[in-house]
Structures are given as C-alpha cells and as structure tokens.
Amino acid sequence: MRRLEGRVAMVTGGANGIGRGCALRMASEGAALAVIDREGDTLEDLTQEVEAAGGTILTRAADCTDVEAARSFVTDAEAHFGKIDILINNVGQGARERKSTFLDSDEDVWRFVIELNLFTTMRFSRLVAPGMVERGHGRIINMASEAFLTGPVGSHDYAAAKGGIVGFTRSVARELAPRGVTVNALLPGPIMTRALATSTDPVVHETMASVPVGFVGEPEDIAAMAALLASDEGRFITGQSVVVNGGRWWV
C-alpha cells in the first residue's frame, strides 16, 4: 500500500540510522524525497538505493545547524518539487564523547546539543510550515527521545533538548491544527543505529538489556510509525508524543 503517492517528504539527518530508515519508508510508500545530511558519501548510497527502486530523491550534503544551508535547501526543494508535504525533523545526537555528569558539564556542550536537536527542529519547521499552511495540508514529525521521560544521568543536555521538542510540538500542533497541518513527536527508545552499535557507554548497554520485549528496535520500527503519522490515516493525530521503545516506559 503506497499511502504517500504524490507526496514530498523532507528528512533532516537522513543519511544514516533512523533518518535513513524513515527516508526509505517514505519512498516505499510513494513519496519523493528531499534529504539533507553532513555525510555526502552515505547520501550518495541512499540516492542509489532509492533510485534503484524507482524512487525520486534530491539530496544536499550540509550541516543542518547552518542557517543559510537549511534555508537554501528548503528553497531548492520547494522549487524542485513544487511543495513539501511531510517534514521529518530527525537530525540530532547527544554529547557522545563529550558526555559527562551535569556537575562536570560545560556550557559549550549544552549549546551544541540543544542547537543540533531543538533549534534545527524549530528552524526547519519554521521554513517549511508556511507552505503547508498555504496549501492547507502538512505533516511535521519531530524526533524526540525517551530520554525526556527517563532522565538518564549524563544526558541532562540531551533530555532538555528532547523535552523542548515535545513542548514545541504541542504548541505548534495547537496553532497549526486549524490550518490542516498535524505536528507530532516520536520518542524512540533503544534503536540499533551506528551510534548505539559502537557505543562503549555502560548506561547505553544497560538500556539495551532492559527492553521488556526482549530486543532492541531497528530504524524501521520508528519509520513505520512515521509513515502512519505522515499518511492520511494519521489525520486525527496531532500534538502527540508517541513512545516507540519496546515497553521501557509508558505515557
């Protein structure tokens, strides 16, 4: 079932992991793709995979925290496709090698994490939403995290950024609902991405071992929910925080 036939989906940070999974699912559902990511090589791999399956894709190798790069890509994508129907604000990460306890933390790391997660979500939404409102239809899907709910030690900046995304989602959903645009957040739990697979953080491995369903999720598990929210079947869902985590936490 190709629920997104004729739609155009933009995915930020879409070359790897959850973003790539979402991009491929959107394409399999019939959507044309606009994907931005810093990694040009993996973007090229994604392009080949999408086009080999008969899909259409426009990519840009750029940093999503670069305001002008973001604006330019949205402008070019709208000019190329004529519209953007679906925005998946996926780009983001934690402090990784600079991760620390809050008492040992540094403001520069806070700014990096909040800029990459929260500000990019707000920025791309602000760039794309006016066209959606003008057409009276749109789907914005923001990638938050169960870290907002669980508050892991050492993830103060990441949890704050993802919590900000949830609050942003609710506020903008209320504003745009009368204009035909839904806005929702996905809160993934442990998902087998490159970052997770290569992590040496003991907290990460404890998290992976604590999933009630007995296995760690795949990017496709998040992409499946994104596809529902992006489709007409998701028209009555807005302002929600959908937790996809194998039962680790409930809301």
Active-site amino acid positions: 158
pLDDT tens-place string over residues 97-129: 999 999 999 999 999 999 999 999 999 999 999
Confidence at residue 201, expressed as pLDDT on a 0 to 100 scale: 73
Instruction: Tell me the range of 150-154, 162-166, 208-212 where mean pLDDT is highest.
Output: 162-166
249, part of any domain: no
The more confident residue out of 202 and 75 is 75
**What is the domain range of residue 14?**
8-244
Is the pLDDT at 203 greater than 90? The verdict is no
pTM score of the predicted model: 0.95
What's the rounded mean pLDDT across residues 218-245?
98
- C-alpha 226/C-alpha 233 separation (Å) is 11
Going by pLDDT thresholds of 50, 70 and 90, the confidence category of residue 83 is very high
User: How many structural domains comprise the chain?
Assistant: 1
Is the pLDDT at 205 greater than 90? The verdict is no
168, part of any domain: yes
1, part of any domain: no
Is the pLDDT at 141 greater than 90? The verdict is yes
Q: Give whole-number Cα distances, 144 to 122, 160, 189, in Å.
A: 12, 10, 10
124, part of any domain: yes
Is the pLDDT at 250 greater than 90? The verdict is no
Going by pLDDT thresholds of 50, 70 and 90, the confidence category of residue 207 is confident
CATH number assigned to the domain comprising residue 19: 3.40.50.720
3, part of any domain: no
What's the rounded mean pLDDT across residues 133-140?
98
Confidence at residue 199, expressed as pLDDT on a 0 to 100 scale: 74
What's the rounded mean pLDDT across residues 159-175?
98
Percent of the chain with pLDDT over 90: 90
141, part of any domain: yes
- C-alpha 217/C-alpha 168 separation (Å) is 26
CB within 8 Å of 66: residues ≥ 6 apart: none
- C-alpha 217/C-alpha 87 separation (Å) is 22
What's the rounded mean pLDDT across residues 190-198?
81
Buried b (16+ CB within 10 A) or exposed e, 175-184: ebeeeebbbb
pLDDT tens-place string over residues 23-78: 999 999 999 999 999 999 999 999 999 999 999 999 999 999 999 999 999 999 99
Percent of the chain with pLDDT over 70: 100
Confidence at residue 195, expressed as pLDDT on a 0 to 100 scale: 78
Q: Which residues are registered as beta bridge partners of 241? A: 185
Tokens of 44: 């090229």
Is the pLDDT at 197 greater than 90? The verdict is no
Rounded to the nearest 10 degrees, the angle between the axes of helix 17-28 and helix 219-230 is 50
250, part of any domain: no
Tokens of 125: 């939404």
Is the pLDDT at 164 greater than 90? The verdict is yes
21, part of any domain: yes
Is the pLDDT at 249 greater than 90? The verdict is no
Mean pLDDT of the chain: 95
CB within 8 Å of 139: residues ≥ 6 apart: 85, 86, 87, 181, 182, 229, 230, 234
